[in-house]
Structure 1
Amino acid sequence: MLFQIYGEGAGWQLLGWLLVFTCLVLANEFARRSKMGGIICFGVIPALLTVYFIAIYVCAVLGMDWALNNDTYVHMTSWFHYAKLYAATAGCIGFMMLKYKWGIGKTEWFKVFPFVIVAVNILIAVVSDFESGIRGAMALAEYGDRWWLSSENVWLYGGWWNWVNGIAGILNILCMTGWWGIYSSKDKKDMLWPDMTWCFIIAYDLWNFEYTYNNLPTHTWYCGLALLLAPTFANALWNKGGWIQNRANTLALWCMFAQVFPLFQDASRFSVIPVLYADGFMDSAIRPTAVNPTMQGVIAIIALAANVLCFAFIIKRAKEQKKNPYKNEIFTDQKDFQIAMSRAE
């Protein structure tokens, strides 16, 4: 058991997950299928939100009640959420430049951009994981347990699992192959990275789920499960080679929604907490007295094992093919790669 889903509220919690998953899949389709959809999702909406965020913080400094009591100001103050939102949005814009061959998107050197932006996003999460591990150790020394209160008033339980998963994240960066093997689909709907096959996707999903389970525990039902499965679902069924674009699109759109409507996850009938909170609730005003970190440790080990195996598999194939796995594509014999390439220009 990963989450506390039972009782009268279980139906609402499951409905919330289904709604988020479905909306993410549909929003990704809207964003990827036309230039206008992409411009609206990753140009117009982020610009409007930036003005909104600045207005909130300026007005909060001026002491205006609407800003001081704004849900974004109260509940979404961590550097991580803003970094993730804008890094993911930058990725979406860069992918559109490659897909439509806008400006530097026509150049050969810019093909490495997807690797760079994904690596940056992973490193942001790795830093956050390590931060939680350090804060957990500090709490253990001071209070005798590993609970620490984040800047968003969520109790996190930092431990060795953060370090293990952080290492898995670093390995995951090394599991991205064929950095320059970036293509535009014939129908101009997708930027394709064919060498990013199931091997990487599984390793990434396991690592990222553990990251959210460790560091965003009150959100992971949605940003861990629904948000990770939406792009994987699309890639598996109809968008071969487009997983990284699906992932960036859904991540950016979810971050925008969560930044404006944080209480959907935090304090509504759709809220779900993991089994970590053995007291049965998470209240920032009450230091937890019971904890069940078993699944944090189990998933961290699975995530690390998956990334070690993926990396070892890549090295083995690279040696057999006598190729540099980062300069060259090494999964060309796999069906997913071949289907993706059949879609490429």
Structure 2
Amino acid sequence: MTATNQVLVVAEHDHVSIRTATLNTVAAALQCGAEVHVLVAGHEAEGAAKAAAAIAGIARVLHADAPHLANGLAENCAAQVVALATGYSHILFPATSAGKNVAPRVAALLDVAQVSEIVRVVSPDTFQRPIYAGNALVTVQSSDPLKVLTVRVTGFDAVAAEDGAARIDKVEPVADSGLSAFIERVVAKNDRPELGDAQIVVSGGRALGSSEKFAEVLTPLADKLGAALGASRAAVDAGLAPNDWQVGQTGKIVAPQLYVACGISGAIQHLAGMKDSKVIVAINKDPEAPIFSIADYGLHADLFDAVPQLVDAL
């Protein structure tokens, strides 16, 4: 196997399991080269390394273990990736908050141009990515010997998480850069599916009027459907929903099997975050709302009447 056929995917994990975004990224990596390796950098993350080895299509797992890699500090993670970069033609990251924090550092340290949020691999050196809030696709060809890519996970179907049998190799961890320190992690506890991974999403807009109405009207529907809750930027800016519920160009990019938009007009920046959903249902009392132009099913109605009726029908 020549070096030009080897691709490295930088995994996202919780030290025990691999996050779904990594499976989508592996799908893109398999289209870039003939042999795909996965880097699991962390501390006492043997469980994540074993989970990575089980991913379909993976040939090798590189496991870097050190206390200073435990919390995903971008400076240390980037240094670890760069230390292993020799021999690879592509390095891929999920285009998540963590991936977008590390990838630019890796590209800068390697003195190459990053290609961001690819949604299609045309050939090993040519990729498609969205521009203008997803209203157009641009084809980008990279002449860099090593290509650093972030992958918009909604653009690729996840590979199987359990069909592989890759070997796991321990690699030498880099030294702590000392450039940053982990202070604290505050985790919001939520019994619902993670918004980025959910198969069903119920989202609300500013029309709900208050956080109390948000909970009163949308929560029962989400409970019935087993859905994650989302919100438009306008709803988040108005304090109706927390920041991590925001769907859109400046929030999370989602592509569930079912997306239910309640009282969301359909601003371009919101559509950019959910237009790849398999089935889109829009409920809005404005018949001219842009959301109806992309919805598979549209209901022209007051959400305060329609949503409780829908809950009762379910």
TM range (shorter): under 0.3
Q: TM-score, normalised by structure 2?
A: 0.27
Q: TM-score, normalised by structure 1?
A: 0.25
Task: Kindly indicate which of the two structures has a greater share of residues assigned to helix.
Answer: 1
Task: Kindly indicate which of the two structures has a greater share of residues assigned to strand.
Answer: 2
